[in-house]
Amino acid sequence: MNTLLYGLMTGILFGFLLQRGQVLRYDKQLGALRFFDMTIVKFMLSSVLVGMAGVYFLKDSGLATLAVKPTILGGNIIGGLIFGIGWALLGYCPGTSLGALGEGRWDGLWGILGMLAGAALFAEAYPVIKKTVLTWGNFGAITLPQVLGINHWLIIILFAIGGILLFRWFEKKGL
Amino acid sequence: MKSSDDKKYWSPYLAGAASGLVLILSVLVTGKFFGTSTTFVRTTGMLEKIFSAERVAQMDYFVKEAPVVDWQWMFVLGIFIGSLIAAKTSGTFSWQAVPGMWQKSFGSSVSKRAVVAFIGGVIGMFGARLADGCPSGHGLSGSVQLAMSGFVSLICFFIGGALVARIIYGKEERS
């Protein structure tokens, strides 16, 4: 029961911040995919930069464990590209479609219905997909520091520097 | 317009960084990373169960992702509620059937937008399940853990999305 309550509270905080950050909009999502409004990239990269430092600090302190999803190139690449196609048509991702509905952008509802249908379709195809695409290029649960063989804090610092330079460039270009 | 908007919304950097803190807190308190697309699978399973419970009980994918309400299901519901609260408290809630950018190119037909959004949802969710995550599960939680699966998927989301956005809207810049 507590787990469910924490889930709800965490979602409310996240939804609140997504709305205040103006991320829950078709125009902003397509603006990023058309490379002239980087609002969603600014939001996402900011949360990633803060999150990666905090999560790895918790991990190093023994306060949390990672839950790394396996890298299966067949699924990640083909599924990722297919997701992108749908994302550009809908203009919302699964989480933001719910949030968009919350602030009155009810075209998100068509997306939610479509996504439920898409989940049903995938469940039908899963037995075949499991034996084919999801066996192509399975590397298990690997992380970038493992692949490069360098310390994770070095990578986090490099990401932070790269992120800040990118943000400065966005602001200079008015993106 | 601009100045009143500035008070109602936050900088995407600030809202994003705060979301990063919420993620860290979630990982510390409950060990849960953000994700949303599995919830659509569980919900579809719940709906299908109404019609054929026996069939659902035998389907591989619904055995893997059981049709139950869990932490993530409540998290996704929370995104809706959080967005609603943020929109109502800042006076930015407004019903909108067709996004502005869409309307400029494709007109104000609600059914036209509905059809494309629905199809986008179907394709997007199929892709997300194939990739084993969406922009929250892979893009946010995956990147935060420096997971290879997260980076590969996120890059593919943007490649697929940018290609289709280009096909839909052509090369023209923002007007």
pLDDT value, residue B6: 65
On chain B, the residues whose CB falls within 8 A of the CB of A173 are: none
Q: How far apart are the first and last CA of chain B?
A: 19
Cβ–Cβ gap A103/B48 under 8 Å: no
Nearest to A49 among B20, B25, B116 (CB): B20
**Cβ atoms within 10 Å of B172's Cβ, excluding its own:** 8
Q: Please check the confidence at residue B89 and state whether its pLDDT lies above 60.
A: yes
Q: A34: which 2 tokens?
A: 């058309």
Tens digits of residue pLDDT in A43-94: 999 999 999 999 999 999 999 999 999 999 999 999 999 999 999 999 999 9
Distance CA A93, CA B44 (A): 17
Distance CA B77, CA A102 (A): 10
Cβ atoms of residues B97 and A29 within 8 Å: no
For residue A31, give the nearest of A142, A174, A128 by alpha carbon. Answer: A174
Cβ atoms of residues A122 and B131 within 8 Å: no
Instruction: State mean pLDDT over B152-167.
Output: 98
Q: How far is CA A81 from CA A154, B61, B159, in A?
A: 30, 21, 7
Nearest-neighbour CA in chain B from A13: distance (Å): 6
User: Taking the CA atoms of chain B, what radius of gyration do you get in angstroms?
Assistant: 19
**Rounded percentage of chain A residues whose pLDDT exceeds 90:** 99
Q: Please check the confidence at residue B2 and state whether its pLDDT lies above 60.
A: no
Distance CA A120, CA A95 (A): 18
On chain A, the residues whose CB falls within 8 A of the CB of B154 are: 80
Nearest-neighbour CA in chain B from A165: distance (Å): 14
Helix H or strand E encompassing A139: strand A138-140
Residues of A (31-70) whose Cβ lies below 8 Å from B: 31, 33-37, 39-40, 42-52, 54-56, 58, 63-70
Q: Please check the confidence at residue B25 and state whether its pLDDT lies above 60.
A: yes
Q: How far is CA B34 from CA A38, A68, B96, in A?
A: 22, 12, 27
pLDDT value, residue B1: 43
Cβ atoms of residues B130 and A82 within 8 Å: yes
pLDDT value, residue B5: 63
Under the banding of pLDDT at 50, 70 and 90, the label for residue B7 is confident
Q: How many beta-carbon pairs below 8 A join chains A and B?
A: 518
Nearest residue in A to B101, CA atom: A27
On chain A, the residues whose CB falls within 8 A of the CB of B164 are: 33, 84-85, 88-89
- DSSP SS3 for B109: coil
Q: Please check the confidence at residue B76 and state whether its pLDDT lies above 80.
A: yes
pLDDT value, residue A135: 96
Distance CA B39, CA B32 (A): 14
**Cβ atoms within 10 Å of B96's Cβ, excluding its own:** 16
Under the banding of pLDDT at 50, 70 and 90, the label for residue B4 is low
Distance CA B55, CA A155 (A): 47
Distance CA A57, CA B31 (A): 14
- Does ipTM top 0.90? yes
Q: How far is CA B126 from CA A47, A86, A160, B31, B134, in A?
A: 26, 9, 33, 27, 10
Mutation target among B11, B29, B75, B159 for the A interface, most CBs of A within 10 A: B75
Q: B46: which 2 tokens?
A: 């719940």
**Residue whose token pair is 């084993």:** B132
Nearest-neighbour CA in chain A from B90: distance (Å): 9
Residues lower than pLDDT 50 in chain A: none
* H-type alpha helices, chain A: 2-20, 26-33, 39-60, 73, 80-90, 94-102, 108-131, 144-148, 152-173
Nearest residue in A to B149, CA atom: A71
Instruction: State mean pLDDT over B82-109.
Output: 97
Nearest-neighbour CA in chain B from A93: distance (Å): 7
Give the type of residue at B135: P
